[in-house]
Amino acid sequence: MLDIDKYKKELSHYLNNADNILLICHVNPDGDAAGSMLAFYHYLNSRGKNTSMISPNYLQEFLTWMNGSDRINIFIRDRKKCRELIENADLIIMFDFNQSNRLGEAEKYVLKSKAKKVIIDHHLNSESFSNLLISDHTRSSTSELVHELVSAISEGHFVDKNYSEAIYVGIITDTGNFEHGYFNGKTFRIIADLFDTGIDKDKINDLLFNNFSESRIRLLGYSIYERMVLLPEFHTAYIYLTLADLERFNYRKGDTEGFVNLPLSIKGIDFSTLITEREDNIKLSFRSKGDFSVSEFAEKYFNGGGHYNAAGGESNDSLENTIKHFLEALKKERGNDA
Ligand code: 5GP
Ligand code: MN
């Protein structure tokens, strides 16, 4: 169990001694990465701290309504400014990842920066590239952990609606609106506190979950109807999408979010994978139910990682070879399940 009191003191020490604080989230930021970073930004702003934010690349469109998101510097858009922000920072706080390659193009600049580095995260198997690692994989989200830290440091006195919204977004996106992932009574007590600050849950739910384009819904139907392959002998299903598929359905960043969970609702399937062809590589998303560690699977075969039941990875091979590699890995890891 994470000792919040201990980390509160250590984190406070770093915050009190920093003049230029930089917050960074992981590449392809999801609701938790953006939410935890924005929440911390609102908190530091309230303390009058000089704080900037960087995301390695663009936010998914369904997150850009969040207050403060227009103040996030995008590394691949403003490289020079972002490099300067990294160089001038004396404290860099990283959110929702624990492997430095999740910094994308910003990685090498962050690694060589002389700033003190703090990671706040909830993934398994952390790499050591920070001075302080605050991580607990039993938390629903990095946002939940950020909220506990901020509540501890401010002794419960920090109340701000933009902050609450950001924490709420992190928690409900990482749990798929409480369908999967880790959450417990404590998570709901935090949600209750957030509600008490006056957030509009219906508005946020609509913005996050009911904001899709027609073509995204059609892509979803196509993915399930044409591109889902069931392998009952491995209790596994996978969906693959080619670049041409994505173009046909006018793909926008974030459109395939959630697809990977759907095959898990098929009776007898407890491992699901989404394999997506991208311009520069192949992205894989893994989900499992119960006793199969997809973070280990992702790490071992696809240079990735994540959580026990939700992870991701990449491949630099062709789509065809990636699927072959996936099927071979499946035989090795789940051959006895047949
Ligand atoms: P998703 O499948 O939704 O992209 O990601 C599921 C989980 O795995 C998230 O917690 C995400 O941070 C992590 N993840 C996704 N892709 C990668 C990757 O390429 N490398 C690592 N280390 N983690 C990943
Ligand atoms: Mn997360």
Instruction: Name the closest ligand to CA 171.
Output: 2
Tens-digit pLDDT profile for residues 203-219: 999 999 998 999 999 99
Instruction: Name the closest ligand to CA 312.
Output: 1
- Name residue, tokens 């394999």: 275
Give this prediction's pTM. Answer: 0.93
Q: Give residues with Cβ within 8 angstroms of 108, minimum separation 6.
A: none
In ligand 1, which atom is closest to the CA atom of 28? 4
The structure tokens listed for 13 are: 């020490």
CATH class of 214-337: alpha beta
Whether 14 shows a pLDDT value over 90: the answer reads yes
Average pLDDT over residues 100-127: 96
DSSP 206-231: HHHHS---HHHHHHHHHHHHHSEEEE
CA of 305 to the centre of ligand 1 (A): 6
Confidence band of 125 (pLDDT split at 50, 70, 90)? confident
CA of 123 to the centre of ligand 1 (A): 9
Report the topology of domain 4-208: inorganic pyrophosphatase (n-terminal core) (3.90.1640)
Element (H, E) at 248: helix 243-248
Which strands sit side by side in the sheet containing 72-74, from one edge to the other? 72-74, 50-55, 20-25, 91-95, 116-121, 132-135
Tens-digit pLDDT profile for residues 296-322: 999 999 999 999 999 999 999 999 999
Cα distance between residue 294 and residue 261, in whole Å: 13
The structure tokens listed for 251 are: 């793909």
Burial (Cβ within 10 Å: 0-12, 13-18, ≥19) of residue 132:
middle
pLDDT the model gives residue 337: 47
Average pLDDT of every residue of the chain: 96
In ligand 1, which atom is closest to the CA atom of 302? 19
Percentage of the chain exceeding pLDDT 90: 94
Percentage of the chain exceeding pLDDT 70: 99
29 lines ligand 1 (CB under 6 A): no
68 lines ligand 1 (CB under 6 A): no
Amino acid at 253: K
CA-proximal residue: ligand 1, atom 7 (nearest): 311
Task: Give the mutation target among 26, 30, 239 for probing the ligand 1 site: most ligand atoms within 8 A of CB.
Answer: 30
User: In terms of Cα–Cα distance, which of 266, 2, 240 is closest to 139?
Assistant: 2
Whether 19 shows a pLDDT value over 80: the answer reads yes
CA 251 to the chain's CA centroid: 20
In ligand 1, which atom is closest to the CA atom of 257? 3
Confidence band of 61 (pLDDT split at 50, 70, 90)? confident
pLDDT the model gives residue 338: 41
Burial (Cβ within 10 Å: 0-12, 13-18, ≥19) of residue 105:
middle
Average pLDDT over residues 186-198: 96
CB-CB contact of 287 with 261 (8 Å): yes
Domain map (residue ranges) of the chain: 4-208, 214-337
Taking a 5 Å cut-off on Cβ, the residues next to ion ligand 2 are 32, 96, 141-142, 174
Task: Give the mutation target among 255, 274, 285 for probing the ligand 1 site: most ligand atoms within 8 A of CB.
Answer: 285
Whole-number Cα distances in Å, 198 to 77, 140, 159: 35, 22, 10
Average pLDDT over residues 166-189: 95
287 lines ligand 1 (CB under 6 A): no
Whether 177 shows a pLDDT value over 60: the answer reads yes
Whether 124 shows a pLDDT value over 80: the answer reads yes
In ligand 1, which atom is closest to the CA atom of 26? 12
Confidence band of 15 (pLDDT split at 50, 70, 90)? very high
